[in-house]
């Protein structure tokens, strides 16, 4: 997994790339969680994520819940087809913020 | 419909999960039927392999190996088997979590159950401690 972070109008966008499994979830959390803790609106762009398992889904859930705690928006953007399939299998499409 | 019978051993650590997936994709690509369900099947197999790393070995890297075996017979029966020498699983404790309980973790077993027809735990296999069988009839 690789990532890139951009900042624009007080919105941090984290572009994740590659395959997200338990081997890289700590790395993903280290990037995403501090941005949410800082109270920023965080967009997680998933267009280049080719594979995500339950560990990756856990990162999305934790990020969403932390956003609620910190009263800031965590939005999933441009979700790839394979990741959307997994999100829907977990019935999370109504829970997570998807735009 | 050609039959497939392949296996590979992997050292138990999270960095090897991508190699487990690569092996699975290569095998599933050998059948037109399995190729059509490749994403889901790879997810089910990888979740099972992840459970070995996470639960049988408490997420600690080990030089032990796990064996992943894929058999696909001419009558359309897919058997994915995983063997490991980690801590013995207690089948009664392995349950998919309630999806209404929104929390991180516990989804892997649910995914496996959604994708496969049957999940069988065995703990008495000679040379191994845990033996997991995932079945799907096409």
B24-44 pLDDT per residue, tens: 999 999 999 999 999 999 999
Q: Does A80 touch chain B (CB under 8 A)?
A: no
Which residues 19-38 in chain A show a CB within 8 A of chain B? 19, 21-23
pLDDT higher than threshold 80 for residue B106:
no
Q: To the nearest whole percent, how much of chain B has pLDDT over 70?
A: 89
Q: Could you give the CA distance from residue A83 to residue A57 in angstroms, rounded to a whole number?
A: 9
Phi, psi of B37 (to 5 degrees): -115, 20
> For position A96, what pLDDT does the model report?
96
B54 interaction partners in chain A (CB closer than 8 Å): 22
pLDDT higher than threshold 80 for residue B105:
no
Which residue did the predictor score with more confidence, B1 or A89? Answer: A89
Residue B42 DSSP label: H
pLDDT higher than threshold 90 for residue B54:
yes
Residues 6 or more apart whose CB falls under 8 angstroms from that of B33 comprise B1, B76, B138
Which residues in chain A land under pLDDT 50?
none
> For position B93, what pLDDT does the model report?
74
Mean pLDDT computed over every residue of chain A: 96
> For position B59, what pLDDT does the model report?
93
Question: Are B104 and A22 within 8 A, CB to CB?
Answer: no
- Segment A39-61, tens digit of pLDDT: 999 999 999 999 999 999 999 99
> For position A72, what pLDDT does the model report?
96
Burial of A77 per CB tally in 10 Å (0-12, 13-18, 19+):
middle
> For position B98, what pLDDT does the model report?
67
pLDDT higher than threshold 80 for residue B125:
no
> For position B70, what pLDDT does the model report?
98
Q: To the nearest whole percent, how much of chain B has pLDDT over 90?
A: 80
Query: Per-residue pLDDT averaged across B1-29, rounded?
Result: 95
pLDDT higher than threshold 90 for residue B89:
no
Of A19, A53, A61, the CB nearest to B102: A61
Question: Are A22 and B14 within 8 A, CB to CB?
Answer: yes
Q: Is the complex ipTM higher than 0.90?
A: yes
Burial of A30 per CB tally in 10 Å (0-12, 13-18, 19+):
exposed
- Candidates A40, A10, A46; CA nearest to A28 is A46
A51 interaction partners in chain B (CB closer than 8 Å): 21, 42-43
Of A53, A58, A91, the CB nearest to B46: A53
DSSP string spanning B112-124? HHHH-SEEEEE--
Mean pLDDT computed over every residue of chain B: 91
> For position B60, what pLDDT does the model report?
93
């Amino acid at each position: 997994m690789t990532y890139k972070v951009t900042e624009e109008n007080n919105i941090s966008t984290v572009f994740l790339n590659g395959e997200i499994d338990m081997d890289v979830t700590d790395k993903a959390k280290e990037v995403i969680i501090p941005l949410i803790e800082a109270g920023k609106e965080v967009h997680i762009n998933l267009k280049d994520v080719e594979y995500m398992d339950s560990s990756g889904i856990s990162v999305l859930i934790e990020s969403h819940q932390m956003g609620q705690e910190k009263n800031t928006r965590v939005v999933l953007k441009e979700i790839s087809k394979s990741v959307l399939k997994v999100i829907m299998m977990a019935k999370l499409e109504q829970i997570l913020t998807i735009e | 419909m050609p039959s497939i019978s392949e296996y590979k051993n992997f050292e138990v650590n999270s960095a090897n999960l991508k190699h487990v997936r690569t092996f699975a994709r290569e095998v599933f690509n050998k059948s037109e039927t399995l190729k059509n369900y490749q994403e889901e099947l790879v997810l089910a197999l990888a979740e099972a392999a992840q459970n070995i790393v996470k639960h049988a070995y408490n997420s600690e890297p080990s030089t032990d190996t796990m064996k992943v075996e894929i058999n696909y017979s001419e009558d359309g029966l897919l058997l994915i088997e995983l063997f490991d020498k980690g801590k013995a699983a207690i089948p009664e404790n392995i349950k998919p979590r309630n999806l209404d309980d929104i929390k991180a973790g516990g989804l892997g077993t649910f995914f496996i159950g959604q994708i496969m027809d049957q999940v069988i735990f065995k703990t008495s296999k000679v040379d191994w401690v845990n033996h997991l069988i995932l079945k799907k009839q096409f």
